[in-house]
Structure 1
C-alpha cells in the first residue's frame, strides 16, 4: 500500500532533496507554492503534507489553516528553521498542524512520520 506525500517549499533545492530522499518511501508530489500545493490536494488523495513555514506570500501555518476544513484527514507537518514555538503550539491546539519539525530535517524522523501515517490509514 503506497502513501501520497506532498511537500510545499519555495526553495527548489529543498524540494529536490526531499524527492531524492523519500521517493522510495512514498509517492511524492512537490510544489513551489501554496497555490500549486492546493491544486495538488484537490487533484490527488494526499495522506500527509509537509510545508515550509517561511514562504513568500503565505506561511506554512496559514496554508494549513486554509486547507484544514477541506482536507481534515490529511496529516499536516510544518518544517521550519525558525523558533516560533508558541505560534506552532497554538496552531497544533487549533488543529491546523499535527507536528512541526526543525530544519534541516532528520530523515529518520520524517520517515517515522510517513510510516505512522501509513499504519494509521
Structure 2
C-alpha cells in the first residue's frame, strides 16, 4: 500500500515548520521522519523568504514568536499562497483566538503545545486531504 504522505506524483509532501524554538523544530522534523520533506524556519521573516523560493504543501507555525505572531504570518501566507494548507500551533488554550484564527487565516487546523510528531503528521495529512 502507498505511503499516505506521498503526493500523486509519489514525492513526499513538502512541509515548512516555523517556530523560534529550534530544539522543538528539530524534534518534530526527526519525528516526522522521511515521510515528509521538511524545512525549518526560526522566524516568520525566514519563512517568508523560504516560501518565496519553494512551493510548500503545508506550513505549520507557532503563534507566539518574537517579531511577529504566527497568525499574522499565516494570514499573509493565505493571501500569497492560497493553495498551501496552514496549521497554527499554540501553547495557549484561548477559544476566542482559535475561532478567530480559523476564520481569518483559513486554517486547516490548530494544535496545542506540546505537539507530538505523530499527531502533527496526521493533521498534515488531513489538511492535504481537505479535512480539518
Structures share fold, TM-score greater than 0.5: yes
Describe the SS at the equivalent of 2:114: coil
Residue pair 1:7, 1:51 contacting (<8 A) in 2 also: yes
- Specify which of 45, 54, 63 is matched with residue 44 of structure 1: 54
Equivalent residues in 2 for 1:37-116 (5 A)?
Answer: 37-116=47-126
Residue pair 1:47, 1:117 contacting (<8 A) in 2 also: no
Equivalent residues in 2 for 1:12-31 (5 A)?
Answer: 12-31=22-41
Distance in 2 separating the partners of 1:118 and 1:68: 15
Report the CA distance between 1:78 and its aligned residue.
Answer: 0.6
Give the gaps of 5 or more residues in structure 1: none
Bigger CA drift: 24-33 or 90-99? Answer: 90-99
Distance in 2 separating the partners of 1:117 and 1:12: 24
Describe the SS at the equivalent of 2:119: helix
TM-score by length of 1: 0.90
How many residue pairs get aligned? The number is 120
Higher Cα Rg: structure 1 or 2? Answer: 2
> RMSD in angstroms over aligned alpha carbons?
1.5
Give the gaps of 5 or more residues in structure 2: 1-9
